[in-house]
Every structure is written in C-alpha cells, then in structure tokens.
Amino acid sequence: MSELNRQRVEQMKAGNETAFEWLLDCFERPVYRFLFCSVRDEGLAVELSGEVFGEFVLALKAGKLRDSDRLAGFIFGIARNVLRRTYRRKTDPIANRSETLHQVPCHKPSAPEQLILQEEVKLALQRISRFRDPDRQVMVLRFVEGLRLQDIAEALDISLSQVKVTIHRCRKKLQDSRA
Amino acid sequence: MSDSHDRDNNTFFEPLKQIESPASLRAANRAAITQALAQARCRPTWPLSWWQHRVSVPLPIVAAVLAVIGLQVIFQVYALRKPHQSPVPIAREAPSALTAGGREEEPSRIRYQQKSVYIAGLGTIYSAEFHHAKEM
C-alpha cells in the first residue's frame, strides 16, 4: 500500500490525470462527508471539496507532502484548514441548519428505505452536532472514515494522546446520553 | 485507512457512512484540480520562487537599514577626522626657560588629545591626536 501510495504521489506530482482519478476515487467521498458533517450544506460541501483538492495539488507541487504514507492525514489536514477559513468568513456556518437537513443526500433504491435512511442520517447528524470542533472532527474521522489515530492527530494538528482522550470523552458522553 | 486492532464498533455514526456524494462533486473536483495544475504551471520554479518568497520582500528593507547605518558611520568617522580647533588658547607655561647664551628657547610640548564618539550598534570609536603646542 505504501509503495502504491508513493508511486501514485509521484505520478500526481508529474501531473498524471489517472493518478488524480485514483485520488478522487479514494478520498472524494470521505472528504465530502467530513465537510458535510461540519457544514451540513450539500452545495457548500461540494464547493469546499473542490477547494480542498485544488489546495492539495498546489501543496503537492510545492513539495509539502514529505511522506506518502501520510496521504490521508495530509488531505484531511487541508480539509480542516479549508473549514477553518470558512468559519472565519461566515459567522456560524452550521447554525440554524435544521431547515437543510431534509437535503441529506443518500441513495437507496426504494422510497421507504430512502426515508428510513434519511431519518437515521438526521439522527446521527443531530448526535454529532452536540460536539464542537475539533471533537466533532475527531469523531467523524475515527468512526465514519476509520482513519488511524496517527492520521487524525496529523490532520487536526493535535497530539496522539489528545486524540485518544477526545475519543474516550466523546464516547462516554454518547453512552451517557443514551442511558 | 484504519487500524484493525483499534477499530471501534461504534454504531452511533454508522448511518453517516451512507451519505452519498452528489453527482456534481466529481466534476467540481476535476475542475478544481485542473485549475490548480494550470496555476502550478504558471508558478516560478525553485530558484526564482525561493527568491520571490524569501528574499525579494525583505531585501529592500535590509538594504535600507544597512544604508542608514553606513551613512551614520561615515558621518561620524568624518567628524572625528576633522582637525580639532580648541576654543581655549593653550595656556603659557611659566616660567620660561633661559638658555646659557641668553637666548630664549621656545619650549615645545607634545599634547595628547583623545576623542570618543558612541555610534549606535557599533560601539565607541576612539581617535587620538598628538600635536605640538609651542609656547608663546
């Protein structure tokens, strides 16, 4: 996997379009979900996703990615920076988002299944909205995207122990709320 | 992307994995990548980009500061080298010595004068002057 990553990164540095398609296949949905869980707006998440990949290309060309094994952490780190800039631009981008929850994008074959899934997604989004960043981002990266703890620490620019403590605290909070 | 030994079976957020990206996402990302690649091509390569980022902006500031310090040093050194004119006339030494032939010899004394000027950032510059002070 690391050798493949290294080859792909080298191809991307050379401007190979196939390598960028591989990148989008691997990271497009995770990055979109990460952004969507924070901003809860489909259009804004698409816009920010484009910004993330654009910045990734520029950072790659500038040689900022030193270790190709840390590709996931690197991309989510850019996504976090893009989100932070969005928070600065807007006063509170996720405030009063309840009216946009019906736009939750999910695809199921039948209408009832789709409705059920949309309700579950809404419920999960409500659960996660109890947390604030970076706790929310840690939870999404860990439990939705399944990133390694080291990658989460690198992406969010926090220590490994802080990631572990955050996960433990949030998990306890969720269990308490369920009880 | 995940550690097998440290995987959490938390089902709270399981539905979030079902969130699908919209159809327009791939096109938007491709467009962003293409634009960024074009932008990266227009960027200058290593020596020029390094110069533009690291040197070209602070260089005029550093040059201006060095010019000010240099001018200050030049002026101070020039002021030290100017011949000193003492406003107070040299006092006559008394009594004047008489030679054996009755001829008065003009006594000569070597006078030593030291001046110092403090220049900010450099320290103190000393200058010494020796001159003959002939008695009237």
Give the gap in angstroms from C-alpha A124 to the nearest C-alpha of chain B: 6
The chain-wide mean pLDDT, for chain A, equals 82
Contact (Cβ atoms closer than 8 angstroms) between residue A74 and residue A27: no
* pTM of the entire predicted model: 0.64
For residue A112, report the phi and psi dihedrals to the nearest 5 degrees: -60, -45
At B38, list the tokens: 């074009």
Say whether B21 and A28 touch across the interface (CB within 8 A). Answer: yes
Find the mean pLDDT for residues A93-112: 57
List the domain range (segments joined by +) for residue A125.
2-178
Max intra-chain CA distance, chain B: 126
Contact (Cβ atoms closer than 8 angstroms) between residue A53 and residue A12: no
- Interior CA angle at B43 toward A44 and A156, to 5°? 45
Q: What is the pLDDT of residue B106?
A: 58
- Interior CA angle at B98 toward B91 and B103, to 5°? 110
Per-residue pLDDT tens digits for A15-31: 888 888 888 988 999 99
- Interior CA angle at B98 toward B92 and B102, to 5°? 135
At B74, list the tokens: 């030049």
CB < 8 Å to B19, chain A: 32-33, 36, 104-106, 121
The count of CB pairs under 8 A between chains A and B is: 115
- Whether pLDDT at A105 is above 70: no
The answer to whether A19 faces chain B, any CB pair under 8 Å, is no
For residue A25, report the phi and psi dihedrals to the nearest 5 degrees: -60, -40
Q: What is the pLDDT of residue A16?
A: 83
What distance in Å separates the CA atoms of residue A160 and residue A142, rounded to the nearest whole number?
13
**Residue A47: closest CA among chain B residues belongs to which residue?**
B28
Q: What is the pLDDT of residue B108?
A: 66
For chain A, what percentages of helix, strand and coil (3-state, to nearest 5) are there?
A: 75, 0, 25
The answer to whether A125 faces chain B, any CB pair under 8 Å, is yes
What distance in Å separates the CA atoms of residue A144 and residue A35, rounded to the nearest whole number?
12
| Letter string b/e over residues B18-32, b meaning 16 or more CB atoms within 10 A of that residue's CB | bbebbeebbebbbeb
- Whether pLDDT at A158 is above 80: yes
Alpha carbons within 13 A on the beta-carbon side of B113? 15
Percent of chain A with pLDDT over 70: 87
Predicted ipTM of the assembly: 0.79
Per-residue CA distances from A143 to A117, A170, B38 (Å): 18, 11, 36
- Whether pLDDT at A8 is above 90: no
Q: What is the pLDDT of residue B103?
A: 54
Q: What is the pLDDT of residue B105?
A: 55
pLDDT tier for residue A145 given thresholds of 50, 70 and 90: confident
Give the gap in angstroms from C-alpha B32 to the nearest C-alpha of chain A: 5
Say whether B17 and A72 touch across the interface (CB within 8 A). Answer: no
| Letter string b/e over residues A102-137, b meaning 16 or more CB atoms within 10 A of that residue's CB | eebbeeeeeeeeeeebbebbeebbebbeebeebbbb
Domains: count for chain A: 1
- Whether pLDDT at A106 is above 70: no
DSSP 8-state symbol, A140: I
At A42, list the tokens: 């489909």
For chain B, what percentages of helix, strand and coil (3-state, to nearest 5) are there?
A: 45, 20, 40
Per-residue pLDDT tens digits for A65-98: 878 788 888 999 999 999 988 888 765 555 555 4
- Interior CA angle at A79 toward A103 and B14, to 5°? 50
Chain B contact probe: residue of A11, A17, A21, A49 with most B CBs at under 10 A: A49
Percent of chain A with pLDDT over 90: 16
pLDDT per position in chain B (136 positions), as tens? 444 434 444 677 778 887 878 888 899 999 999 988 888 877 777 777 788 777 777 888 889 999 999 999 998 888 877 766 655 555 555 555 555 555 555 566 777 777 777 777 777 777 777 766 655 4
Chain B contact probe: residue of A5, A18, A46, A51 with most B CBs at under 10 A: A46
Q: What is the pLDDT of residue B134?
A: 57
Find the mean pLDDT for residues A131-137: 84
Say whether A144 and B3 touch across the interface (CB within 8 A). Answer: no
Q: Which helix (H) or strand (E) holds A37?
A: helix A17-39
Amino acid residing at A140? V
What distance in Å separates the CA atoms of residue B10 and residue B41, rounded to the nearest whole number?
45
